[in-house]
Chains A and B, each alone.
Chain A
Amino acid sequence: SSDLDRLCSHINEKIDIIKNTLSLRNCGRDPALTTVLDKIGNEIIAVHQLLNQLESEVQYHEQTNISLKELCDSLEEDFKDVEHLK
């Protein structure tokens, strides 16, 4: 029955996409809708730029993790030296 559920959700998902696309069908005739579309287009560009910034932040975090791990390893070496000294 899970296969059948998955099949049904797959078909329903496609029907939803078609409904969305149908709603766009008449947008060329309605100037108000065209304006909305232009705004969406601009917003998408803005979100793309934000995602680029977010991506570089994520890369920075991943780089910081590497440095922190190196720092931790060297600190653990220091601890072993102090322990040996003791």
Chain B
Amino acid sequence: TLKDDVNILLDKARLESQESIGFMKATKLLMK
């Protein structure tokens, strides 16, 4: 159903946000 689709997309978006935070931290660390 639409509600399930929205929940799935929301979880996916949150996961990608977490991954991006880690990526940015690693990048900044190596740039020092």
Contacts and interface: CB of A to CB of B under 8 A. Distances in A.
| A and B touching (Cβ–Cβ under 8 A) | yes
Interface in B1-32: 2-3, 6-7, 9-10, 13-14, 16-17, 20, 23-24, 27-28, 31
Contacts of A54: 6, 9-10, 13
Interface of A: 43, 46-47, 50-51, 53-54, 57-58, 60-61, 64, 67-68, 71, 74-75, 78
21 contacts: A46-B3, A47-B3, A47-B6, A50-B6, A50-B7, A50-B10, A51-B6, A54-B10, A54-B13, A57-B10, A57-B13, A61-B16, A64-B17, A64-B20, A64-B24, A68-B20, A68-B23, A71-B24, A74-B31, A75-B27, A78-B31
